């Protein structure tokens, strides 16, 4: 591991210890082998003047909820050092009392809650303290003879601490262990199965001690092991099984989740190991990960077919694990898996948000690497089950889970929108995103690529009249997010204004191909996945021309009428699968690419009114926008229309001919 320290950058803030703390914390956070998604914590001790002009020793320690990779000065909680040190001398202290006392000891009540390791940071008599969950160190300690190995690796200047629960118990343990030691004789501490501490009065020295200590562990592993196998997967993902597994995981969790599959060479090789069932089922890399990953992954066997009983078996095993370890006052968390090893395929990570799923995916990749290395060091051995349970059900960890219980309506859901590059389609994508969905945005216009530039949007450049491209787009959506819940079939064209007598064959056929047939084919490919969706819904964007056609629009009107009839039949056919099918008939939606300024001016002039008057030429005298149509789409896809199917709703400001 290489140091990232820059004397040039550090010199700019050398007189500001808190900014130095921010700088070196970010260096640690930039290395996922040290700190992964919010793990680890750092601190600095600073003498400050209080309101009475008296000197006061303050411990600035990482605040709860902040990530070292991006932390700012306000991410550190200022706590009075003498109170924290006095807390360490107590014989007992409950978690809730510890949190309350730390909070009461803060010099700024508006700062975030201090890390649960604040007391431990306080008793280490150095200005800068760094704590990471370094993969290499934890990998070595997660072996049968891990304590002896790590002693051999790090030498006498590192204190070895047996595993105990984080928080006050850990601080008390180290307080007692270090009563009679000379701290200057040590560069750091290794907490078995947990992580590493380094410390110094100089920020650079503490940081570089961490780098050296972890580098020694990495070198030891490299010398004792061979390269981990990688293998390219030629196996086609069973997308039906993926969607079914996601649905079952969502049901067990009580909310929609994403299911991100990882078929990378590393993940595929791990999932193809003969003993993967055994080695993957011994526990997490560190107990800190258990709040995200649970104790064990789901194991999906390669010959499962479309059966998902393994998810139910996982849930039963989790409940049994709870029953073996729980106290009478504890309540079982949801038994849904957070990640899976899909044998001969790869890994899957489940999350109610894409961020959560990707964090779990990152943790899983680090875990499978550590498992394979530890197996070569004598055998992977995580903490005993009871220790892991106590960490998972620790009240301070549970408090993190209970934050932000409210979530957007479509969080965890997956939508596919066609004609997504402009107008109504684009507004539908934006509305779905605002309500928390992940969206596959499809359009024939190449501008769709890079249009949204978000991780929760899969941009697909495809022609809906190309059957193969359409099928591939649906499969790509399921492969990317894990399933499909909402279909907004919107893509369409306005054909030339031609009377029936003089209409070209091309005008008629082109309208039928795009405005009708492509929708039928899209539904055909989506229905097998919607059947395993979460509260699945199809919303079809038709037209005012269905109830109120006009001359010269036969090709367009007939296709949209056929589309509406298709939706009605689909509502009948899919009702047994609880798939709702509803239709919107927009009219006079002028904020689309079809309506140019010249066209609007020409139409308004022909009526002898202004452009604004023309836009509001309806019963309500109001302009209708793409956002209005998108809002109705969200209502139809969501709870508002939960008991409605086969409906047709105009969004037109009130059209006299329709009424």
Active site residues: 556
Query: Which ranges of 306-346 does DSSP label H, i.e. alpha helix?
Result: 309-325
Q: What is the DSSP string of 172-190?
A: HHHHHHTTTS-GGG-SEEE
Terminal C-alpha separation, the chain: 72
Q: Is the sign of the CA dihedral 30, 33, 37, 39 positive or negative?
A: negative
Phi, psi of 56 (to 5 degrees): -140, 130
Q: How far apart are CA 249 and CA 310, in angstroms?
A: 11
3-state SS string for 422-479: CHHHHHHHHHHHHCCCEEEEEECCHHHCCCCCCCCEEEEECCCCCHHHHHHHHHHHHH
Beta strands in 234-342 (DSSP E): 258-262, 298-300, 339-342
Contact between residue 266 and residue 365 where contact means Cβ atoms under 8 Å apart: yes
Distance in angstroms (rounded) separating the CA atoms of residues 471 and 224: 49
- Residue 261 bridge partners (DSSP): 348
CB neighbour list of residue 465: distance below 8 Å, 6 or more residues apart: 513, 514, 517, 518
Instruction: Answer yes or no: are the C-beta atoms of 77 and 112 closer than 8 Å.
Output: yes
Q: How many CA atoms lie within 13 A of 384 on its CB side?
A: 7
Give me the residues paired with residue 487 across strands: 416, 538
Q: Is 39 exposed, middle or buried (0-12, 13-18, 19+ CB in 10 A)?
A: buried
Q: For residues 257 and 543, is the Cβ–Cβ distance under 8 A? A: no
Instruction: Give 381-384 contacts, CB < 8 A, sequence gap 24+.
Output: 381/142, 381/143, 381/144, 381/146, 381/282, 382/142, 382/193, 382/282, 382/283, 382/284, 382/285, 383/163, 383/193, 383/283, 383/287
d(CA 439, CA 430): 9
Distance CA 283, CA 519 (A): 47
SS3 36: coil
The secondary structure element, H or E, covering residue 538 is: strand 537-541
């Amino acid at each position: 591991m290489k140091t990232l320290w820059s004397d040039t950058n550090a010199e700019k803030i050398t007189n500001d210890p808190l900014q130095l703390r921010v700088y070196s914390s970010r260096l640690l956070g930039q290395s996922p082998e040290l700190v992964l998604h919010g793990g680890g914590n750092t601190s600095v001790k600073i003498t400050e003047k209080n309101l009475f002009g008296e000197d006061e020793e303050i411990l600035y320690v990482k605040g709860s909820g902040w990530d070292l990779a991006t932390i700012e000065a306000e991410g550190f909680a200022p706590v009075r050092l003498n109170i924290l040190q006095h807390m360490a001398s107590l014989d007992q202290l409950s978690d809730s009392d510890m949190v309350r006392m730390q909070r009461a000891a803060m010099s700024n009540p508006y700062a975030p809650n201090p890390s649960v390791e604040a007391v431990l940071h306080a008793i280490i008599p150095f200005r800068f303290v760094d704590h990471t969950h370094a993969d290499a160190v934890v990998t070595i300690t997660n072996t049968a003879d891990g304590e002896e190995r790590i002693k051999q690796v790090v030498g006498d200047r590192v204190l070895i601490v047996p595993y105990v629960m984080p928080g006050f118990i850990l601080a008390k343990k180290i307080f007692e262990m270090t009563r009679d030691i000379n701290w200057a004789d040590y560069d750091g501490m290794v907490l078995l199965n947990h992580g590493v501490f380094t410390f110094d009065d100089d920020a650079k020295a503490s940081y570089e001690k961490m780098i050296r200590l972890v580098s020694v562990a990495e070198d030891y592993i490299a010398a004792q092991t061979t390269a981990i196998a990688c293998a390219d997967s030629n196996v086609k993902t069973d997308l039906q099984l993926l969607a079914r597994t996601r649905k079952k995981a969502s049901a067990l969790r009580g909310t929609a989740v994403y299911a991100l599959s990882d078929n990378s060479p590393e993940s595929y090789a791990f999932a193809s190991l003969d003993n993967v069932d055994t080695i993957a089922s011994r526990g997490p890399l560190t107990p800190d990960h258990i709040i995200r990953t649970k104790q064990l992954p789901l194991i999906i066997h390669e010959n499962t077919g479309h059966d998902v009983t393994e998810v139910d078996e996982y849930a039963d095993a989790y409940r049994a694990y709870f029953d073996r370890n729980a106290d009478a006052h504890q309540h079982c968390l949801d038994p849904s898996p957070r990640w899976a090893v899909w044998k001969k395929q790869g890994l899957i990570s489940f999350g109610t948000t894409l961020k959560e799923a990707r964090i779990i995916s990152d943790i899983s990749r680090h875990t499978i690497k550590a498992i394979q290395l530890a197996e070569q060091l004598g055998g992977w051995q995580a903490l005993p089950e009871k220790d892991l349970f106590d960490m998972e059900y620790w009240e301070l960890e549970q408090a993190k889970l209970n934050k932000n219980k409210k979530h957007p309506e479509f969080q965890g859901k997956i939508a596919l929108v066609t004609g997504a590059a402009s107008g109504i389609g684009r507004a539908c994508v934006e509305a779905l995103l605002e309500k928390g969905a992940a969206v596959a945005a499809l359009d024939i216009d190449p501008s769709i690529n890079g249009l949204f530039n978000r991780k929760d949007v899969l941009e697909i450049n495809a022609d809906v009249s190309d059957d193969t491209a359409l099928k591939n787009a649906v499969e790509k959506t399921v492969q990317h997010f894990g399933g499909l819940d909402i279909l907004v079939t919107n893509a369409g064209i306005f054909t030339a204004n031609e009377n029936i007598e003089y209409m070209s064959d091309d005008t008629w056929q082109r309208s039928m191909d795009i405005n009708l047939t492509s929708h039928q084919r899209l539904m055909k490919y989506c229905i097998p996945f919607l059947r395993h969706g979460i509260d699945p819904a199809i919303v079809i964007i038709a037209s005012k021309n269905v109830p109120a056609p006009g001359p010269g629009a036969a090709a367009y009107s007939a296709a949209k009428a056929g589309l509406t009839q298709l939706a009605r039949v689909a509502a009948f056919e899919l009702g047994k699968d609880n798939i709702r099918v509803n239709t919107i008939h927009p009219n006079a939606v002028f904020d689309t690419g079809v309506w140019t300024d010249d066209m609007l001016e020409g139409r308004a002039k022909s009526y002898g009114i202004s452009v604004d008057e023309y836009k509001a030429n309806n019963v309500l005298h109001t302009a209708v926008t793409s956002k209005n149509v998108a809002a109705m789409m969200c209502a139809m896809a969501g709870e508002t229309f939960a008991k409605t199917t086969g409906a047709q709703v105009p969004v037109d400001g009130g059209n006299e001919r329709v009424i």
